[in-house]
Structure 1
């Protein structure tokens, strides 16, 4: 076989895949500091402004399972390029939006691009780098890009909003996505022709899964705004749960399921999904709390709030790269993941403890530093999710893991916002002390949720040690009583 482009230029290929992950993760936070300007210019209400963030979650979380199976069936490189193209077009539309409806639609379409790009990126890493040292090193680089994107999103969002306007938090993605899409054909191996699977693509399962997941995420992000007992809240959740149940029945009976149910028997994947649910749930809430405290309590501008994320960005990049790779090789997936999450939990709790009405950034810095150091555990989640999964199912496995992340993020954000706003009513007003009390309590809850994720990670199955065969003894020397007895019998026969 001829060497594929991925084999000839693995470093450049990994750089491309890490860059794609940076594009995906930067969108989690880049819009947060721009929300006040977006709301003022486009006419969002206080209740509807959350949909600038939530529409992305609905599109991303709703289409991930479909995107993961499309990667497995239609090709990793094809879906990688298509996801980047959708990202670029939707980002351009978001920056050009003239009313709330257009911006929300662009954000949902951007989520669809992420639902294709995320499983394609992970599948290219899983199939292009063998399990073990090479994959751990690749996941360390990929994780560093993800951590830097999460942390740098707020920094870049603050700079762009302050200097160029809120539109540029969307426009910035256009050249990034276009450049990555143009580089992909040169660095990634061409996909084989799509296989003619008997039974097709499981279109019923794809439609039911997409509708069910979308309704679940929609209900979760609508609850705080419309009320948990409303049709948009409880109604969407109930409808989504029913569709997910129907989806399980369809997958059990179909010959070529969208999501093979046997994947849920993979203990490593199932544990990683639970960890990811809690991880992003607590992390997305913590970013919200940190940004809210900086701008609403300390009075930071968009630029100042973005710059406050700089220490977290630098530390996360440093620890998620080389350190993560070294620890994965030395400690293994289970220990690296559980200790990393525990360190993040400690950092989150210290960050919450540093919040006060008369506080300063320096009171927050110890928690920020410890939070950033714990980022070395981030790649280990995805190493665990890929363990023991067949190459032909890596796309859907990564989609399952990412879906649990997105739903966890929606649940966590809704819960953290509800806790932070407890006691803040129109009658009592939003006194600074009440705001800080709510933020601090919510921060402690987020830290405890991260600690629970660390405990679950500790239940990952420890890799089986490979038995080393005992070397044979030197020639002519007996190695057991049975061998010595046989040797004596042979000498007697020769003398006789």
Structure 2
């Protein structure tokens, strides 16, 4: 039952990224969004979600993972109700912002609960597989569900569907999840000059929380709004955000209870996973956006048809998630990571080659399945790798780190690929997806490095 609940937590955060994609045209007509303002329906969720993940992860360690899980679910339910009832752009954007905040509390709490409730090894691999099936599959399932709900019930249904799920999740969590938060470790930071934490010390790193949140949020906002605001304006915001992140790292190296303990970077598993997750976010995570455009603008699919078209990658992702668990047991972390990345690159390249102006769904099918298989293999393996070797008292921070990197990568990659595809006239969707495959090749270097080989124990 615990595993089912944690899978539900992963599912609701993932679905909300893509469930509005195919509903956007109807939202624009009914709510009154302009052509340039419509993208805020997506951005208003992504920016607070990505910017607050570090904070949400550390709050899970300090305040309690069950509390953050319940708080995230409740906020999702309230925000979704507001979104479904919205009759103006302002209220709908506010609802999406609140959903993003709820996701930032819920996702790292869910991931850290998976890592702490199940022992490292086969048990955690199995639990992480369920989490990954719900999370990675939810991205494609969101587009499918969004198409079905919009086609039959209208755009407001993509919000109202979350309400009973969130209510059930919050109530179930109070019954099946442990209530206590683990004590913080009495261990010093590995960096010279930093103050060691004390046993039971739960003081909160407020300066780090403010600078980290402002830095990550500003950077994601600059990247996602670059094509709209113009790159000079976005560049200034990005520079200010990077300065805030630099100050954040300085504070983290000196405070007793950092928001992001820098000792996490001394773990080769977490370090390798974070870099690979960054590349994954910049490349494979961005592909569904271009698929939605291809289905609707090139193939001429309606909302319901676009949603059903995502069955192909959804099945591939689910198969990849399930297969990765077996590969991890037989081959270990490094080899499984290498296989997952090669599959992801090859599948994305095949999909990109299939995006022709005269294509059909059948000509896309092999590429869709290959892309989905690679995505599913990579997603599960990377997040198992990120939690490996991390003590239970830092699992929330590690979850916040890995999910923040994923969202930062997604924002960066999507902005870059949109720019490459062309912002004037008809975008070159094929070029965007092929570029994503080419950029994903850089991740193949990571599992081949000597330190990764030595760190990946044979029994993992």
Give the TM-score, by structure 1 length.
0.86
The alpha-carbon deviation at position 290 of structure 1 amounts to: 0.8
On the 8 A contact 1:29/1:150 being kept in 2, the answer is: yes
Instruction: Tell me the residue number matched to 1:183.
Output: 172
1:374-395 CA-to-partner distances (Å, cap 9, x unmatched) read 2223211111111111110100
Q: Deviations over 1:36-85 (max 9, x none)?
A: 11112222121111111111111111111111110000001111111111
Deviates more, 1:68-77 or 1:306-315: 306-315
- Change in Cα spacing, 1:326 to 1:234, as seen in structure 2 (3 Å) is same
Does the aligned pair in 1 maintain the 2:66–2:178 contact within 8 Å? yes
Residue 23 of structure 2 aligns to a residue in which SS?
helix
Q: How many residues align?
A: 442
Distance 2:237 2:96 in 1: 20
Q: Whole-Å Cα distance in 1 between the matches of residues 354 and 458 of structure 2?
A: 47
Compare CA radii of gyration and give the structure with the larger one. Answer: 1
Residue of structure 2 in register with 1:201 after alignment: 204
Change (3 A) 1:238 1:144: same
Distance (whole Å) between structure 1 residues aligned to residue 344 and residue 181 of structure 2: 42
Offset of residue 318 of structure 1: 2.9
For 1:131, what is the secondary structure of its paired residue? coil
- Which residue in the other structure is 1:64 paired with? 53
- What's the offset of the Cα at 1:314? 2.1
Matched, 1:312 2:313: yes
CA shift for structure 1 position 457: 3.7
Specify the alignment match of 2:251 in structure 1.
250
- The reply on whether 1:78 has 2:67 as its aligned counterpart is yes
Any unmatched runs of 5+ in structure 1?
1-11, 468-496
Hey, what does 1:269 align to over in structure 2?
Answer: 270
Does residue 333 of structure 1 match 2:333?
Answer: yes
Task: Please list every run of at least 4 consecutive aligned residues from structure 1 whose deviation after the TM superposition is greater than 6 angstroms.
Answer: 193-196
Over 3 Å counting, the alpha-carbon distance change for 1:166 and 1:210 in structure 2 is same
Q: 2:302 maps to which residue?
A: 301
1:406 and 1:96 map into 2 onto residues whose CA distance is 28
Distance 1:193 1:123, change over 3 A: closer
- Relative distance call for 1:317 and 1:83 in structure 2 (3 A) is same
Change in Cα spacing, 1:198 to 1:369, as seen in structure 2 (3 Å) is closer
Partner of 1:211 in structure 2? 214
Query: For the Cα contact (< 8 Å) 1:74–1:194, is it kept in 2?
Result: no
1:284 aligns with 2:285: yes
Superposition map of 1:370-449 within 5 A: 370-374=370-374, 375-421=376-422, 424-425=424-425, 430=426, 435=427, 438-449=428-439
Find the aligned partners of 2:50 and 2:307 in 1 and give their Cα distance: 26
Structure 2 stretches lacking a partner, 5+ long: 185-198
Q: Where does residue 369 of structure 1 map in the other structure?
A: 369
Specify the SS of the correspondent of 1:157.
Answer: helix
Q: Secondary structure at the match of 1:253?
A: coil
Q: Does residue 456 of the first structure (1) align with residue 446 of the second (2)?
A: yes
* Counterpart Cα distance in 1 of 2:457 and 2:365: 41
TM-score by length of 2: 0.92
What is aligned with 2:78? 89
Measured at CA, do residues 103 and 464 of structure 1 come closer, stay the same or move farther in structure 2, by a change above 3 Å? Answer: closer
Whole-angstrom distance in 2 between the partners of 1:102 and 1:65: 26
Matched residues in 2 for 1:465 and 1:281: separation?
28
Deviates more, 1:247-256 or 1:81-90: 247-256
Shift of 1:333: 1.4
Once the two structures are overlaid, the 10-residue window that deviates more, 192-201 or 155-164, is 192-201
Mapped partners of 1:199, 1:284: distance in 2 = 35
Cα shift at 1:240: 0.9
How far did 1:172 drift? 0.7
Tell me how far apart the structure 2 counterparts of residues 287 and 98 of structure 1 sit (CA, whole Å): 28
Rounded to whole Å, the distance in 1 between the matches of 2:456 and 2:408 is 32
Match of 2:118 among 88, 106, 129: 129
Q: Distance in 2 between matches of 1:99 and 1:457?
A: 48
Residues 192 and 150 of structure 1: CA distance in aligned 2, closer, same or farther (over 3 Å): closer
Which residue does 1:475 correspond to in 2? none
Deviation at 1:20, TM superposition (A): 1.0
Change (3 A) 1:131 1:194: closer
RMSD: 1.8
Which residue, out of 148, 165, 182, partners 1:159? Answer: 148
The C-alpha deviation readout for 1:342-366, integer Å capped at 9, x for no partner, is 2122111111111222211111111
Contact 1:275 1:457 in 2 (8 A): no
- In 1, are the aligned partners of 2:269 and 2:455 still within 8 Å (CA)? no
Aligned to 2:351: 351
- Preserved contact between residue 143 and residue 378 of structure 1 (Cα < 8 Å): yes
Contact 2:268-2:455 at 8 Å conserved across structures: no
1:466, CA displacement in angstroms?
A: 7.6
